[in-house]
């Protein structure tokens, strides 16, 4: 019988990691190379750590298991994973992206993919008619984040997969915001799932990592060839840090979501807060679709305050919550998308989406919910 995902967070897919000594924690194979036993044969199946390494391989198998993937490839950062994904495209190909997208991905598409001849079209992927209208004969990929960043908009993954496949394109889903604990896009028809492992997977704001998970083995092999050739694979010690973080993924995700629900409800009732964007609130426009395609709403909340001065005051006055980029860790972090994560998104798109000087994004951590609320209260009212 297949083990439940809580168990697989801790034990991975393999029954035990076989190191010969019975170590419970997977060892860090801090080696660049592996001995060959005779010409053309390496005893262990490992040659050189840029290509493969036992610690990283165990992590990749664990992530693949959690996402229900044929295989996963671990990268030195989320952006390295995103960049490797777009290496599947050729000059003249077009990718259609959600307009509610991580700012670093927008920069990559503009400054790197553009120069390589890959055309990028931004579309409101939450509106299927608009998405369908954007598809052209050159479309080779549809790339979505759901919930989107930072507007928390929900895209219907099943419908996008059908549309992509009809057009002969791949559906790529950045699943960083919900993690495989809450959402498995491959089961909904996606071809590739991306993660910034820096966020919920590692979970402790202490390392940088990224993953690509593929629906089938040939696609996984293509991605692995790119990774080992380009050389942006994850180092063994960082792989070990992610493995250690993963052991508590399920507990963190549940508690962080519980905290987020309380905080979203509190924010909604506050006079200085004019809008709360959290897909766990029934009035959220994507509430029903998110419920159909995931098991939870996660712990990312964006909210709008009454004036830019209030936004500035909150950022300057928070004491427990940290004003910093990133998300998904045990520490609650508050971000100002306008000048931080989304500074590289064109101003016109930012305005159309509502990424303005009154928007704040909160990654709810594992502190006591009441302490986070107290801190936000003193910052908002101080
Ligand atoms: C952080 C993030 C990335 C980039 O990941 P890094 O690990 O910072 O390189 C990509 N997508 C999303 C949604 C992110 O939050």
Residues 86-120 have pLDDT tens digits of: 999 999 999 999 988 898 999 999 999 999 999 99
pLDDT of residue 171: 98
Judgement on whether residues 111 and 47 belong to the same structural domain of the protein: yes
Q: 298 in ligand 1 pocket by Cβ < 6 Å? A: no
Judgement on whether residues 162 and 305 belong to the same structural domain of the protein: no
Counting ligand 1 atoms within 8 A of each CB, the residue from 103, 198, 205, 211 with the most, and so the one to mutate, is 198
- Catalytic annotation, pick one of 174, 191, 238, 375: 174
Judgement on whether residues 128 and 205 belong to the same structural domain of the protein: yes
Judgement on whether residues 285 and 353 belong to the same structural domain of the protein: yes
Q: How do residues 136-195 score in pLDDT, each as one tens digit?
A: 999 999 999 999 999 999 999 999 999 999 999 999 999 999 999 999 999 999 999 999
Judgement on whether residues 32 and 154 belong to the same structural domain of the protein: yes
Q: How do residues 193-215 score in pLDDT, each as one tens digit?
A: 999 999 999 999 999 999 999 99
> pLDDT at residue 333 above 90?
yes
> pLDDT at residue 341 above 90?
no
Q: 212 in ligand 1 pocket by Cβ < 6 Å? A: no
Q: How do residues 40-96 score in pLDDT, each as one tens digit?
A: 777 788 999 999 999 999 999 999 999 999 999 999 999 999 999 999 999 999 999
Q: 149 in ligand 1 pocket by Cβ < 6 Å? A: yes
Give the pLDDT mean for 271-291: 98
Domain boundary among 190, 215, 246: 246
- Percent of the chain with pLDDT strictly greater than 90: 87
- State the average pLDDT for the chain: 95
Ligand 1, atom nearest to 209 Cα: 7
Counting ligand 1 atoms within 8 A of each CB, the residue from 80, 81, 84, 102 with the most, and so the one to mutate, is 102
Judgement on whether residues 17 and 74 belong to the same structural domain of the protein: yes
CATH number at residue 331: 3.90.1150.10
Domain boundary among 246, 262, 287: 246
262 a catalytic residue: no
Spatial distance between the Cα atoms of 88 and 82, rounded to a whole number of angstroms? 11
Number of domains in the chain: 2
- SS3 of the chain: the string is CCCCHHHHHHHCCCCCCCCCCCCCCCCCCCCCECCEEECCEECCCCCECCCCCHHHHHHHHHHHHHHCCCEEEEECCHHHHHHHHHCCCCCCCEEEEECCCCHHHHHHHHHHHCCCCCEEEEECCCCHHHHHHHCCCCEEEEEEECCCCCCCCCCCHHHHHHHHHHCCCEEEEECCCCHHHHCCHHHHCCCEEEEECCCCCCCCCCCCCEEEEECCHHHHHHHHHHHHHHCCECCHHHHHHHHHHHCCHHHHHHHHHHHHHHHHHHHHCCCCEEEEECCCCCCCCCHHHHHHHCCCCCCEEEEEECCHHHHHHHHHHCCCCEECCCCCCCCCEEECCCCCCCCCCCHHHHHHHCCCCCEEEEECCCCCHHHHHHHHHHHHHC
Ligand 1 center from residue 115 Cα (angstroms): 22
Instruction: Identify the band that residue 269 occupies on the pLDDT scale cut at 50, 70 and 90.
Output: very high
Give the pLDDT mean for 120-134: 96
Q: 98 in ligand 1 pocket by Cβ < 6 Å? A: no
The pTM of this model reads 0.97
Judgement on whether residues 20 and 152 belong to the same structural domain of the protein: yes
Ligand 1, atom nearest to 149 Cα: 13
């Amino acid at each position: 019988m297949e083990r439940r995902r809580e168990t697989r967070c801790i034990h991975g897919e393999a029954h035990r990691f076989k190191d010969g000594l019975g170590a419970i924690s997977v060892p860090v194979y801090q080696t660049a190379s592996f001995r060959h036993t005779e010409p053309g044969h390496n005893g262990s199946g490992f040659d050189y750590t840029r290509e493969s390494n036992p610690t990283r391989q165990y992590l990749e198998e664990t992530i693949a298991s959690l996402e229900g993937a044929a295989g996963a490839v671990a990268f030195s950062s989320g952006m390295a994973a995103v960049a490797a994904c777009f290496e599947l495209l050729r000059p003249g190909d077009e990718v259609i992206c959600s307009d509610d997208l991580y700012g670093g991905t927008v920069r990559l598409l503009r400054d790197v993919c553009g120069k390589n001849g890959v055309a990028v079209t931004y579309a409101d992927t939450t509106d299927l008619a608009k998405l369908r209208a954007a598809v052209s004969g050159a479309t080779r990929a549809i790339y979505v984040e759901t919930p989107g960043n930072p507007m928390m908009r929900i895209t219907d993954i099943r419908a996008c997969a059908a549309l992509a496949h009809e057009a002969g394109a791949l559906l790529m889903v950045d699943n960083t915001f919900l993690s495989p604990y809450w959402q498995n896009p491959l089961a909904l028809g996606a071809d590739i799932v991306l993660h910034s492992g820096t966020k919920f997977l590692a979970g402790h704001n202490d390392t940088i990592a990224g993953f690509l998970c593929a629906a089938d083995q040939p696609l996984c092999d293509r991605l692995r060839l790119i990774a080992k050739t380009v050389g942006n694979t994850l180092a063994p010690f960082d792989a070990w840090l992610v493995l250690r973080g993963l052991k508590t993924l399920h507990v963190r995700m549940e508690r962080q979501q519980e905290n987020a629900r309380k905080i979203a409800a509190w924010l909604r009732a506050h006079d200085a807060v004019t809008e709360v964007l959290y897909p766990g609130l029934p009035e959220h426009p994507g509430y029903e679709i998110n419920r159909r395609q995931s098991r939870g709403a996660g712990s990312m909340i964006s909210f709008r305050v009454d004036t830019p001065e209030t936004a500035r005051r909150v950022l300057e006055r928070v004491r427990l919550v940290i004003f910093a980029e990133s998300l998904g860790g045990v520490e609650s972090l508050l971000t100002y998308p306008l000048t931080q994560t989304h500074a590289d998104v064109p101003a016109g798109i930012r305005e159309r989406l509502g990424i303005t000087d009154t928007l704040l994004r909160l990654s709810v951590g594992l502190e006591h919910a009441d302490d986070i609320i107290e801190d936000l209260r003193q910052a908002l009212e101080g």
